[in-house]
């Protein structure tokens, strides 16, 4: 793998996961994350938007990446997952009617 293409390669890998196996396994992102926020609210009493839930998932991956970088390594799967969640956020944001965030409710 050429060094110049490494950044683009992981973006393509994330794209393939989000549009392929992820959709086949979990279904539409809005339907899937509607269930996630409903379950989260029933457990915590805290209302999240779908965007909030996806950003929470990105935050988990970012925290894991920070831990790995502090140990002078980069965990490919955490990076790939973070990119995938950002892609899902973009997809959900474009598929959702307003309001899109808790602040807009």
- Is the per-residue pLDDT at 104 higher than 50? no
Higher-confidence position of 20 and 98? 20
Question: Mean pLDDT throughout 51-79?
Answer: 96
Measured in whole angstroms, the distance separating CA 51 from the mean position of its chain's CA atoms is 9
Q: Scanning the structure block, which residue is given the tokens 């009493």?
A: 45
In tens, the pLDDT along 28-52 reads 999 999 999 999 999 999 999 999 9
pTM of the predicted structure, to 2 decimals? 0.84
Dist CA 8 CA 50 (whole Å)? 27
Domain regions of the chain by residue span: 3-104
């Amino acid at each position: 793998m050429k060094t110049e293409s490494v950044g683009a390669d992981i973006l393509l890998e994330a794209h393939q996961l989000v549009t392929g196996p992820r959709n086949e396994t979990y279904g539409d992102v809005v339907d899937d994350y509607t269930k996630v926020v409903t379950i989260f609210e029933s457990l915590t009493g805290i209302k999240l938007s779908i965007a909030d839930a996806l950003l929470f998932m990105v935050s988990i991956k970012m925290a894991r990446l920070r831990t790995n970088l502090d140990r002078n390594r980069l965990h490919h799967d955490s990076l790939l997952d973070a990119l995938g969640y950002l892609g899902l956020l973009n997809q959900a944001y474009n598929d959702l009617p307003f309001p899109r965030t808790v602040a807009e409710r």
